[in-house]
Amino acid sequence: MRGVRVIGRALAASVVLCMAFGSFAVGFGEELRLQALNDDPIELEIEHPTPGSTVSDYGCGAFVAGRAFRGGFDVALVLDTSGSTAEPSGADINRNGTIGTRRGVGQNWIPGSRSSDSGDSVLAAEVAAAERLLGDLDPRITRVSVISFSGGYEPGSSYWRRGQEDRPASITHIPLTHDFRRVRDALRALRLAGSDGGTDMAAGVRRGFVELSGLQGARSKRNDQNQKLMFFFTDGVLERGKDYVALLEAARQAHRLNVRVHTFAIGDSAVQLPVAAVQLADMTGGEFTPVANPGQLSAVLETIEFADLDQISIRSRPLGVDAELVSWAADGSWGGFVKLATGTNRIEVTARLGDGSLVTQHVDIKGNHSKDPPSIPNPLLDRFTNLRKECLHRIRGEAILTERAADKHALKLLKLEIERERLRARERVKEQRKSLELEVEEEDVDPVR
């Protein structure tokens, strides 16, 4: 028997672009205007427990889980594999007890030959972050594709070597799929393949929206019902006017196809010269995230949410007790433990959406205090296991609680620093845009129409 669901409504945002050549790229503020993209319903579904079932609250409480979503998702993970991503991230990404110190890619690396895998490289940090995001997605409603980009192989490029002219600047390693095992395998293979080449960001964006929209040349099956999201990771910067124009055109095409791009500028150079990541996000209604320390990329992914869900609360009646342990993921999947009374209980779940509105659902069950382990449906087992680990950490002692509190405090500080860096980055974008636009004018490149 399926769980129960209720439908609410909330607003999403899209971007109306101002493209006169004097400011033909979107800036933050007067050139960016938000409007309602759609009025599609939000569905709040309680998947477990099912109506009328008998449930034990032994230990942590009765496990309650479900989803708050506006249909399904198609997600393209677009990773930068250019030569610079072989540099160390500054963190122990592969958790082997040491931090990689490989330096000097630009001086020592032979153009056109891929670097050997480094478990602590910027590329390794990208892969780890993508795997972290994957763990928060529900494969029943989400398809994921893995794409890489590098480029810069045209004659005259510092990365060009004869025989590399036909090498693609972007590659689809796996088309959109519900099989997350294949996605993880593709990510690991990408890391092992190493880093090489320049940074053709426009090629990565184009490959991303081709797969998400099922256009000609895509390996993915088209699904117009799913929301289209691209997670774009790069440590690169725009240095040439023609690259700027190409990126703007790719961003505009993505916007026309309703593809929202969340960008991550990784490392000091990308954060100091962030025009590519900022404008790509702004032009598509996504979010720009600066990550000055590449080793923090996975932690930064914990701040990302795209299901328009701000909070989930769970209460049982007649006890009138709120769940103390509740978590929700980026795609709106949620779960928690709540205490029950013996006999008939009503479990009420309330979702607060991004616009402040509330959606509520309930399920009537029978509670007992059996010591038998609960029976959890297989699709929800990972969510249950992770929450139960958190519960046991709380039970075991104050020392662990203090450690967990410190982790949460560190995450809060990280969020504040990201917001501060976003503001600083947008100030730097203004000057970088002027320089690139001047170069476009000097090269007599026609503006994007």
How far the first Cα of the chain sits from its last, in Å, is 54
Specify the pLDDT at position 328: 87
CA atoms within 13 A on the CB side of 307: 28
**pTM metric for this prediction:** 0.77
φ/ψ of 291, rounded to 5, equals: -130, 85
Which of 147, 259, 260 lies closest to 203, judged by CA? 147
Contacts of 166 (CB under 8 A, 6+ apart): none
Architecture of domain 4-70+309-379: Sandwich (2.60)
Q: Are 213 and 228 in contact (CB under 8 A)?
A: yes
| CATH 3.40.50.410 domain position(s) in the chain | 73-305+411-442
Of 3.40.50.12170, 3.60.21.10, 3.40.50.410, 3.40.605.10, the CATH number of 73-305+411-442 is 3.40.50.410
Q: What is the pLDDT along the chain (449 residues), one digit of tens a residue?
A: 445 545 443 333 333 333 333 333 333 332 332 333 344 678 899 999 999 999 988 778 999 999 988 778 999 999 999 988 988 888 878 777 777 765 444 444 444 445 545 688 999 999 999 998 998 888 988 999 999 999 755 544 444 444 455 568 999 999 999 999 999 999 999 999 988 888 999 999 999 999 999 999 999 999 999 999 999 999 999 888 889 999 999 999 999 999 999 999 999 999 999 999 999 999 999 999 999 989 889 888 877 777 778 889 999 999 999 998 898 888 888 999 999 999 999 999 999 987 888 999 999 999 988 888 788 988 888 889 888 888 877 766 554 445 555 566 676 777 788 888 888 888 888 888 888 887 777 665 454 44
Write down the pLDDT at residue 306.
76
Which contiguous run of DSSP H or E holds residue 272? helix 268-272
Contact between 152 and 158 (Cβ < 8 Å) = yes
The total of other beta-carbon atoms located within 10 Å of residue 39's CB is 9
> Residue 395's pLDDT is what?
64
Run of H or E including 266: strand 259-266
- Name the amino acid, one letter, at 290: P
| Tally of CA atoms within 13 A in the half-sphere of 173 that contains its CB | 23
Q: Residue 414: its pLDDT value, please?
A: 77
Q: By the 8 A CB rule, do 289 and 297 touch?
A: no
Integer Cα distance of 85 and 10 in angstroms? 39
Residue 368 burial (10 A CB sphere; 0-12, 13-18, 19+): middle
Q: CB-based burial of residue 8 (10 Å sphere; 0-12 exposed, 13-18 middle, 19+ buried)?
A: middle
Supply 338's token pair. Answer: 């709540």
The CATH 2.60.40.10 domain(s) of the chain lie at 4-70+309-379
The DSSP symbol for 255 reads H
SS3 107: helix
For residue 115, the model assigns a pLDDT of: 52
For residue 183, which of 174, 191, 171, 170 has the smallest C-alpha distance?
Answer: 174
Bridge partners, residue 177, by sequence: 144
Contact 3, 429 (CB under 8 A): no
